[in-house]
Structure 1
Amino acid sequence: MTSSLRQTPLTCSGHTRPVVHLAFSKLCPDGYYLISACKDGKPMLRQGNTGDWIGTFEGHKGAVWGVALNSQATRAGTAAADFSAKVWDAMKGEELHSFSHSHIVKSVDFSPDSNQMLTGSNEKLLKIFDLNKPEQDPIVFSGHEASIKHCLYNSEGTKLFSCADDKTVRCWDITSKQEILKLDLSSSASGLELSADGCVLTVTYANKVSFYSTSTLRELKSAVLPATLYSASLHPDQSVFICGGEDFKMYKYNFDTLEELDSFKGHFGPVHCVRFSPDGELYASGSEDGTLRLWQTTVGKTYGLWKCVEGTGAGGADAEANGLTGDS
């Protein structure tokens, strides 16, 4: 079933090269936030429900491949092609820590208690850095046989999930530092997401979106789409999921029935990353075209900058970044 209202996204400009990853914070007392990774090397922080630019984190000397915000949205993490992962004060925009690697860092994530940061890199290693003792050597997890693309903590902070170019998804026990589950895929995973309740792992690979139990890595269900996919996101209430990829389109599917609900073009290049906001009212996408776009989950609902008139879809200001530098 397709909505009779026209989906009109808010366009967040400011980046000068492809946007390759994005992350929302959790809900905070003052709303929620959105951080984006871009090949221009300048990750940006925005107000999550409007896309309004807050600031740019200046300091990387190469493309930024991965980003994360901690649970309180007080810290930002970035992974970059300059062989470093950095931690930033998300309130002031100041660099707090820089962790050197021997190869390109592709992914970062904060532990649920914000005391640690996880990195995944082309070293084929996962590393956990203690943010209270940043001078200490990291805890290292080895086993992947190719570059790691994405990594994340489980909701309890006791396990890690990772995917790599070796066509595997792996689960690791933090206490024992051992791999405890492994999933072999037909091709390398391009996206990885943990559900809001921590029970479902969403994996994109080739033209498929597959959902797995986080406790067993047993497949729960899978959908085949008409294009190569790079990213997917499951709504917080698990009613729908969205995905995007090589054909510039955004797709929305019913999670229970796997029925396609919507598909539309908005970007002018492949869609590299998609994520639902923590309240589920909107979702964001980042593209090869250098923009982020915010889309309404329920088209026609008054929310954020959307001022809707029935039958005409959403209006509202373009969430244009007013500059490329500034304190966050």
Structure 2
Amino acid sequence: MSKRAQNPRVCHGHTRPIVELSYSAVTPDGYFLTSASKDGQPMLREGQSGDWVGTFQGHKGAVWSCVLNEEAVVAATASADFSTRLWNALTGDEVHQFQHSHIARTVAFARRSPRLLSAGYEKILRLYDVERPDAAPAEIRGAPDKVRTAAWHQNDQLLLTAYIDQPGISVWDMRAERIVRTLETGKVVTSLEVQRDGTYLTTADGSEVRFWDGASLAPGKAFRQDWTVESASFCPAKGRFAAGGEDMWVHLYDYGTGEELECNKGHHGPVHTVRFAPDGETYASGSEDGTIRLWRTDWEAPENGAANGA
């Protein structure tokens, strides 16, 4: 594959850094992309084109997380304004507001039940019933540090949490509501991705991109970079992974060999988040510069050197 530069689709709209991107599953209406930003204006886009669909308006502080449920009809956000909010993703209307006593940093929908997890600086995991948002949440205490990000795993029986200041990933047994295992990492984990089929976990910590077996949670391959990685995403169907970080570039690698296939330039600040679309045809990056860029996974430079527009 040529390493000539791609010309990605650039999605404008945010005015401050983008800190999280998340794709929905494939639905009868296609798939969708959400973005969380420090501008407090989480957005919803059509996943293939990147076209803006709407903005969830109401937060009074930076939004650290924005996700959709499996059917892509409900959205949830976590914010520095000490709230988690539930939204109608079809109309953009706020459904409910959940108050916290400190910064809410992450939200995650369970895939097999109408539960929403939220966590942040309080070292508490909160579980809400999406179908009964007025009901008091279940609270699970015992998180060893402020929670940065979380992901459900193994048919929602496990929950994985990574932290602001502490290395490693906690594995929670959600039936017993306690930590049963810790996955060791050298540095603080800044990115945690679980494949929808549960086959792999992909993490970034320091200069390492790591892969874990989804069934056993045993460590697998690890690839060290010569720059600090903030986010990584894996597409097993393509045999490739993408990573971005402090060097402001978006890198695409061969999973089998670790060879760099592309080094995509264009962002004007560190890359905080990278995610593959569910069909693997593109991957998205979000940056300090406030833009989202959509890159083609199977792209080759034209022989005549002409620009390849998205």
- The TM tier, using the shorter chain, reads over 0.9
Query: What CA distance in whole angstroms lies between the structure 2 residues aligned with 1:38 and 1:286?
Result: 9
User: Alpha carbons of 1:221 and 1:132: their partners in 2 closer, same or farther (altered >3 Å)?
Assistant: same
- Structure-2 residue corresponding to 1:314: 308
Q: Deviations over 1:149-175 (max 9, x none)?
A: 000111512211110122120111111
The answer to whether the 8 Å contact 1:268/1:289 transfers is: yes
The answer to whether the 8 Å contact 2:3/2:261 transfers is: no
How far did 1:31 drift? 1.1
- Structure-1 residue corresponding to 2:268: 268
**Structure 2 counterpart of 1:174, one-letter code:** M
- The alignment yields a C-alpha RMSD, in angstroms, of 1.8
Q: Deviations over 1:213-246 (max 9, x none)?
A: 2333311110001110110000141601000000
How far did 1:4 drift? 5.6
Moved more, 137-146 or 289-298: 137-146
- Structure-1 residue corresponding to 2:200: 200
Moved more, 176-185 or 82-91: 176-185
**Structure 2 counterpart of 1:282, one-letter code:** T
User: Alpha carbons of 1:309 and 1:97: their partners in 2 closer, same or farther (altered >3 Å)?
Assistant: farther
The answer to whether the 8 Å contact 1:5/1:313 transfers is: no
How far did 1:309 drift? 9.0
How far did 1:134 drift? 2.0
**Structure 1 counterpart of 2:78, one-letter code:** A
The answer to whether the 8 Å contact 2:230/2:272 transfers is: yes
How far did 1:103 drift? 0.9
- In the comparison of the two structures, how many residue pairs are matched? 309
- Structure-2 residue corresponding to 1:228: 228
The answer to whether the 8 Å contact 1:228/1:246 transfers is: yes
Query: What CA distance in whole angstroms lies between the structure 2 residues aligned with 1:196 and 1:314?
Result: 31
Matched, 1:254 2:274: no
The answer to whether the 8 Å contact 2:189/2:203 transfers is: yes
How far did 1:178 drift? 1.6
How far did 1:190 drift? 0.5
How far did 1:176 drift? 1.1
How far did 1:119 drift? 1.0
The answer to whether the 8 Å contact 1:33/1:47 transfers is: yes
User: Alpha carbons of 1:255 and 1:122: their partners in 2 closer, same or farther (altered >3 Å)?
Assistant: same
User: Alpha carbons of 1:213 and 1:140: their partners in 2 closer, same or farther (altered >3 Å)?
Assistant: farther
Moved more, 170-179 or 35-44: 170-179
The answer to whether the 8 Å contact 1:283/1:294 transfers is: yes
The answer to whether the 8 Å contact 1:4/1:311 transfers is: no
The answer to whether the 8 Å contact 1:299/1:314 transfers is: no
Matched, 1:134 2:158: no
Structure 1 residue matching 2:72: 3-state secondary structure: coil
Structure 2 residue matching 1:106: 3-state secondary structure: strand
Structure 2: gaps (5+ residues):
none
Query: What CA distance in whole angstroms lies between the structure 2 residues aligned with 1:144 and 1:238?
Result: 36
Q: Deviations over 1:271-291 (max 9, x none)?
A: 000000000000000000010
Note the 1:162-181 alignment, pairs <5 A.
Answer: 162-164=161-163, 165-181=165-181
Note the 1:96-135 alignment, pairs <5 A.
Answer: 96-113=95-112, 115-135=114-134
Moved more, 212-221 or 90-99: 212-221
The answer to whether the 8 Å contact 1:236/1:279 transfers is: no
**Structure 1 counterpart of 2:273, one-letter code:** C
Q: Deviations over 1:247-283 (max 9, x none)?
A: 1011111112222222132200000000000000000
The answer to whether the 8 Å contact 2:201/2:213 transfers is: yes
Q: Deviations over 1:296-323 (max 9, x none)?
A: 001159xxxxxx897434214xxxxxxx
Q: Deviations over 1:79-126 (max 9, x none)?
A: 100111111000000011111111101111111135111112011222
Query: What CA distance in whole angstroms lies between the structure 2 residues aligned with 1:310 and 1:51?
Result: 28
TM-score (structure 1 length as normaliser): 0.90
Matched, 1:77 2:76: yes
User: Alpha carbons of 1:309 and 1:149: their partners in 2 closer, same or farther (altered >3 Å)?
Assistant: same
Q: Deviations over 1:5-50 (max 9, x none)?
A: 5411110001000000010111111211111000000001111111
The answer to whether the 8 Å contact 1:6/1:299 transfers is: no
The answer to whether the 8 Å contact 1:112/1:155 transfers is: no
The answer to whether the 8 Å contact 1:144/1:166 transfers is: no
- Structure-1 residue corresponding to 2:38: 39
- Structure-2 residue corresponding to 1:322: none
TM-score (structure 2 length as normaliser): 0.95
Moved more, 58-67 or 193-202: 193-202
Query: What CA distance in whole angstroms lies between the structure 2 residues aligned with 1:254 and 1:98?
Result: 42
Query: What CA distance in whole angstroms lies between the structure 2 residues aligned with 1:93 and 1:236?
Result: 33
Note the 1:18-97 alignment, pairs <5 A.
Answer: 18-97=17-96
Query: What CA distance in whole angstroms lies between the structure 1 residues aligned with 2:5 and 2:166?
Result: 41
The answer to whether the 8 Å contact 1:244/1:273 transfers is: yes
Structure 2 residue matching 1:58: 3-state secondary structure: coil
Structure 2 residue matching 1:248: 3-state secondary structure: coil
The answer to whether the 8 Å contact 1:6/1:311 transfers is: no
